[in-house]
Structures are given as C-alpha cells and as structure tokens.
Amino acid sequence: MHVTPIQATLIGYFYPESSLSPFLLVGAGWYLTHADGPYAGTQRRFGPHAGAGLELLLGGHWSLDASYRFLWTQIMTLSKPHQFFSSEFSERGSMLTVGLNYRL
C-alpha cells in the first residue's frame, strides 16, 4: 500500500524565540492511497491529526525539527474484481517526521 499525504497543520510553540522549542500541532490531511495486489485500488481519504515535536534553531533562518503525529483517517474499502465481499483497511496510526526548515 502506498500513501501520499497532503497535510495542513497549525503549530503552537511553547518558546518561539528559544534555540530549542517544543511545540504542539493539530491539523487535517488528505491521503491519496493506492493498494497493490488482489485488492488493487486507489482512494482519497480525509482525516485529522494531532501531535507534538521539538524544533532546534541552527542559526540565521534555518532550523531542524522532529515531530510525532497520530492520524485518524476514513476507512478504506477494497474488493477483488468479481467478488461480492470486500476488505476494510483502517489507516489510524502514527507518523514520524524530520524536517529542515527556513524561517522567513
């Protein structure tokens, strides 16, 4: 299964001017999901996410961050061709990200 996420996230920093700042995040995402094999198919799903992270200022306008997000998405239902029964896949789970950022 391949998932391509497109997310919009609001981030609240505890210490925005500090060189090391924890933050909380909340948002929503659209997930283009493609399954291979006998249950092949593609669906677009929507779901909220929430989490936390840590940002390290590297000097100037650059920073490095790491975050954890818990996702809740719509259930994906796929069926084999010419079959009456289907299988459901739930994409509730976790996402870890690391980013290099340029602050304006």
User: Which pLDDT tens digit goes with each residue over 67-95?
Assistant: 999 998 877 665 555 555 555 555 678 89
Domain spans in the chain, listed from the N-terminal domain onward: 2-77+88-102
Sign, CA dihedral 34-24-17-66, equals negative
Average pLDDT, the chain: 84
Sorted by sequence, the CB contacts under 8 Å of residue 26 that are 6+ apart come out as: 9, 10, 48, 49, 50
Read off the amino acid at residue 76.
M
pTM of the model: 0.74
Task: Identify the band that residue 32 occupies on the pLDDT scale cut at 50, 70 and 90.
Answer: confident
Q: Which residue has the tokens 């992270």?
A: 53
The CA angle 70-28-24, to the nearest 5 degrees, is 55
| Distances, alpha carbon 76 to alpha carbons 6, 16, 31, 67, in Å | 17, 38, 11, 26
